[in-house]
Structure 1
Amino acid sequence: MITRLQIFFLTISLYCIFLYSTYTTKLITVEINKPTYSTYQTLSLNYSQSLQCFCSDISIPYKSFLTIKPRFHDLCSSQFVSQNWINYLYGEGNLVYRYSFTDFRASAVGQFQLLASLCEISQETINTSLVQLLKSDYNDRQLLSEQRLNQLIQIQINQFQLVTPNSLLNILNLIRETIGANMIVSVWSVNWLIATESIIHRTWTAHTIPIVYSKCNCGSSWTCTQSSQGMMVGCYPLESLLQTTLQCFYNQSCIDSTNKFTQLNISSLKTSQYRMNTTIQTILNNLMIEEYIINKSYENYFNQCAPSSCSYNYMKKYQVTEGIINIISLYSGLVILTGCLSVVLIKLCSYRSNRITIEITEQNT
């Protein structure tokens, strides 16, 4: 009876251990020292959720894996910012006497000189800021996944676009406010006229009269403008330029009916973020940038990081081999344990049976 009971307990125990070891999932952690890029790619493909790698160098220069090239609006590379175009507009000179102040050509030279300067300053500002950005380091102990690295780069670009224009625009706005508040006379005579009549005092030989654009008086506001031949004229060439839209630059008859200088390519509008009704002010707010061309190399980033180790986790199921190993390793101990348990149970049962028999005998007696 002891042997049979032991075999029963042993069988049940081994079966339960086998089931538990075989069908219970187990978290397995694997660590790989100094993985290669190809190894990392394989691990990233199979264990992207749990894969973690730690860099040997926590400070990585952006320029080691990233290049950013700005593409400026077509205006900044067109003939309209060239000296030839400005000379063509100026012609024989004396524009003030050749054209009325309401004619765009009276201040056209000033506007296009400003446009050329704004393009040049924008390019210098962007290029200088990009050099500083790419010289800076990205600091992190953990290797970023390719998707996470792309997100980081995009965040940096977005922040760059928000912060960089402010330095130039703040200075430009200060200049505009200073010139406008002091009512400085424009060299093109488009905000104040010099009158020689002695209206105010007999001994005065000249005085200034503010010019009015569309019922807006340059004596009270320096931002007065009005339309002229598809362009804008106003108290100052800068204010006129900033309020001018792109429409005339894409219209040959508007910008130059002689065809000596060609219009901007209309087909470029298909890939542009700006439309014809966009003002120069709007484009300048983005520092004349059309887009940023970004090239990055994740492999270069990985090599700069030079991970010292990578680890990943996975859930292991249906471990039949491990179940068999557990049975073999625990078999000897289970034999002893079930043998002792069987002896104890049989003796308890035998003791209780003998006690009941004695009590029945005593009662019958």
Structure 2
Amino acid sequence: MLIDYRLHNYENIYLPIDLSNITALDANDIITFRPEDTLEELKSAAFVNQWTYIGNYTLYYAQCQPEICTYTIDKELPSFARINLVLGLIGGLSVVLRLLVPSFIKTIYLIYYLYHQQTRDAPLRWRMVITHIRDKIYFINVYRSKREVERQYLATRIYIVLLILYFVIISVFIRFQQRTILISIDSPNEAYFSFFHDQYSDSLSCPCTNISIPIMNFSISSLTFQECYTQIMSQPLLATLSLPDNIFWEAPGWDRITEQFRILYTQFSLFQLRLLQRQFIINDARLVSVEAMTSETFNVWFSLFITQIDKSSMISSVDAYKLISDILQANQFHNRYMTSWKTEFSSFDENYILRNSPVILNNGTCSCPSGQSNCTEILIYYDWMGSPHVFPGIMVGYSSMSGLSQSTFECFYDDDCVYKLNTVLGTSFTKLNLNAAYIPPTAPIKSIMNEYLPVSLNLTANYSTYFQICTPSTCQYHYMEQHNFVYIFTTLLGLYGGLTAGLYIFVWQLLGLSKLIVKCYSRLLQRVHPSS
């Protein structure tokens, strides 16, 4: 608990806090965090208690803009329609059989009779059969009246021609007319779903039984720690130590070594915390899908989901630290170690005014406020005998983060360098295992953080598990096909009864009307006109 606020480097000067104004926090107001969470965990989440997402369905629908909506209703034919259909088929079938069966039997009998007439040759027998069929067609009469026989023959011929023409037109129309075939499959498995999707991807519909599925139900996540991370985090915390007084460090910079190591430990810790935060997000995320997805669509969605998590992550501490450093440099603000700008008195000629001067590194070739990445240098220390020593790979730059980014772990892979480091700092560092780290000793720490990822989150998804949870109860698909000849025959058969009755009356009345018109016209022509 914070009791007082002490000014930096002034232990005897502090500002007391009025404890009467401090009230206890309410644990019920905490949603994401727990009372026992450390400040490091709260800082890694930017002290955000809960993210609230609000969606506007009206805006979504306005952007969706569906052009057309279709739906299917399964409905049985009404009772009167079914009765009408059955009666039509029975009527048409009875009429056709009544006309065709007697003629067919007579024709078969005639063929059988002529076939057994051995006295006649085959061509003659076939000519007689053809002549018989022609006479039957020529003298066919559907009216069966004892008067006006010639008119009956003519009406029958017109009736047959119109009937055949009607059948041809209707058959062609129905043949080239397409119909929609709807197929339903109950409780399809993954293999059937994949097969039907390959065949009927445009019309297949498989609604999920569970449309909202927690992602962790079909995915596995794990944290992987690189060997370098494990070895470095197992070293003694240099940030808690203070430098010995009997060592002379070449200015500027060795007072910053503890700060850089503190940042290193913090960065590696934040890697783990950040990935744990992502894992918390994944644990709360859900896949919402009305329709079952294919394995290809599922894999694409999962990749986009991982990418979206990476994009939605808060700014990394490395970027935040660099942003703060750039702001400090651009505005000539001082940091604790005055790595970019330093305050010093001018010369006697300028009356010793206090001014800001840029820190120069690399033998005066690099100005730290410029923010150049190569604005670093290796520090030198002198032992009690005045002998200079360096630690390979340990750099300082225009900021603590810059020096750490350009530094390497080269010293920690060398026995002699580790011994010197422990002697100078009074620590107990151990040599890192080069064979287990899989990282080049000369690799900058920045590249290790960006490329090698000391801590990585491995997330894999199982499509089969997802499909089992989705469990579509029914899949439906439809396709278009032309009517076959069986459908055409049954349709014409159903229409035959009404058609024959209608044509029967229509043709007879039409001939009667035509005869009346011709008779009236003939009388007009025979009328005698008196001459003037």
TM-score surpassing 0.5?
A: yes
Do residues 226 (structure 1) and 226 (structure 2) align? Answer: no
CA distance in structure 2 between the aligned counterparts of 1:150 and 1:130, rounded to whole angstroms:
19
Q: Superposition pairs for residues 159-308 of structure 1, below 5 Å? A: 159-166=308-315, 168=317, 172=321, 181=333, 183-185=335-337, 212-214=360-362, 215=364, 225-228=375-378, 232-242=395-405, 244=406, 256=414, 261-263=432-434, 280=446, 283=449, 288=453, 293-308=458-473
Matched, 1:134 2:283: yes
Q: CA deviation at 1:331?
A: 1.8
Match of 1:20 in 2: 173
Establish whether residue 157 from structure 1 lines up as the match of residue 309 from structure 2: no
Cα 1:358–1:122 change in 2 (3 A) is same
Higher RCO, Cα 8 Å, sep 6+ = 1
Asked if 1:351 is matched to 2:516, the reply is yes
Query: How many pairs are equivalent?
Result: 335
SS at match of 2:518: helix
Over aligned residues, Cα RMSD in angstroms?
Answer: 4.8
Q: Say whether the 8 Å CA contact 2:334–2:342 is kept in structure 1.
A: no
> Offset of 1:125 from its aligned partner?
1.4
Q: Which residue of 2 aligns with 1:111?
A: 260
Structure 2: gaps (5+ residues): 1-153, 349-356, 379-391, 418-430
Could you tell me which residue of structure 2 aligns to residue 60 of structure 1? 213
1:123 paired residue number: 272
Q: Which residue identity is paired with 2:292?
A: L
Q: Do the aligned partners of 2:182 and 2:479 also contact (CA within 8 Å) in 1?
A: yes
The answer to whether the 8 Å contact 1:14/1:327 transfers is yes
CA distance in 1, matches of 2:444, 2:492: 79
> How far apart in 1 are the matches of 2:218 and 2:302?
11
* Contact residue 207 and residue 472 of structure 2 kept, 8 A: yes
In structure 1, how many angstroms separate the alpha carbons of the residues matched to 2:471 and 2:201?
Answer: 18
Question: Distance in 1 between the 2:246 and 2:507 partners?
Answer: 120
Q: Residue 97 in 1 paired to residue 97 in 2?
A: no
Alpha-carbon distance in structure 2 between the residues aligned to 1:233 and 1:36:
63
Tell me how far apart the structure 1 counterparts of residues 262 and 497 of structure 2 sit (CA, whole Å): 97
Q: CA deviation at 1:66?
A: 2.4
1:6 and 2:159 equivalent? yes
Seen in structure 2, the aligned counterparts of structure 1 residues 93 and 291 have a Cα distance that, compared at 3 Å, is closer
Q: CA 1:7/1:130 → structure 2, altered by over 3 Å: closer, same or farther?
A: same
- In 2 relative to 1, CA 278–14 (structure 1 residues): closer, same or farther, beyond 3 Å? farther
Does the 8 A contact of 1:70 with 1:291 survive in 2?
yes
Structure (1 or 2) with the larger CA radius of gyration: 2
CA 1:237/1:53 → structure 2, altered by over 3 Å: closer, same or farther?
same
After TM superposition, give the deviation of residue 60 of structure 1 in Å. Answer: 1.1
Could you give the per-residue CA deviations for residues 40-65 of structure 1, whole angstroms, max 9, x where no partner exists?
A: 23322221221122223332111112
Instruction: Tell me by how many angstroms 1:354 deviates.
Output: 1.8
* Counterpart Cα distance in 2 of 1:340 and 1:146: 65
Question: Which amino acid is 1:237 matched to?
Answer: S
* 1:131 Cα deviation from its structure 2 partner: 2.6
- The 1:352/1:44 distance shift into structure 2, 3 A limit, reads same
Deviation at 1:336, TM superposition (A): 2.0
Task: Give the alignment partner of residue 506 of structure 2, picking from 335, 341, 352.
Answer: 341
Q: Structure 1, residues 155-195: CA drift from partner, whole Å, max 9, x if none? A: 22122111214265676568768998452148xxx789999
TM-score, normalised to structure 1, is: 0.70
Aligned to 2:282, the other structure's residue is in SS state helix
* Structure 2 residue 464 is matched with structure 1 residue 329: no
Residues 4-38 of structure 1: CA distance to partner in whole angstroms, max 9, x if unpaired?
Answer: 11111221222222223233222223334443434
CA distance in 1, matches of 2:517, 2:444: 103
Q: Which residue of 1 aligns with 2:139?
A: none
User: What secondary structure does 2:180 align onto?
Assistant: strand
- With over 3 angstroms needed to count, the CA separation of the structure-2 counterparts of 1:12 and 1:304, relative to structure 1, is same
The answer to whether residue 310 in structure 2 is matched with residue 145 in structure 1 is: no
Q: Which residue of 2 aligns with 1:310?
A: 475
The verdict on how the C-alpha distance between 1:173 and 1:210 changes in structure 2, with shifts beyond 3 A counting, is closer
Percent of aligned pairs with the same residue? Answer: 19
* Counterpart check, 1:50 vs 2:203: yes
Q: Write the distance in 2 (CA, Å) between the matches of 1:289 and 1:14.
A: 81
Distance between the aligned counterparts of 1:158 and 1:114, measured in 2? 27
Distance change >3 Å, CA 360–CA 226, structure 1 → 2:
same
Which secondary structure does the structure 1 equivalent of 2:313 belong to?
helix
AA matched with 1:66 = S
Structure 1 Cα separation of the partners of residues 300 and 202 of structure 2: 17
Provide structure 1 residue ranges, at least 5 long, that are not aligned to the other structure.
Answer: 201-208, 270-275
Query: Which whole-Å CA distance do the structure 2 matches of 1:319 and 1:95 have between them?
Result: 102
Residue 475 of structure 2 aligns to a residue whose secondary structure is: strand
Distance of aligned partners of 1:264 and 1:226 in 2 relative to their CA distance in 1, 3 Å threshold: farther
- The equivalent residue for 1:30 is 183
Whether the 8 Å contact between 2:227 and 2:437 is mirrored in structure 1 is no
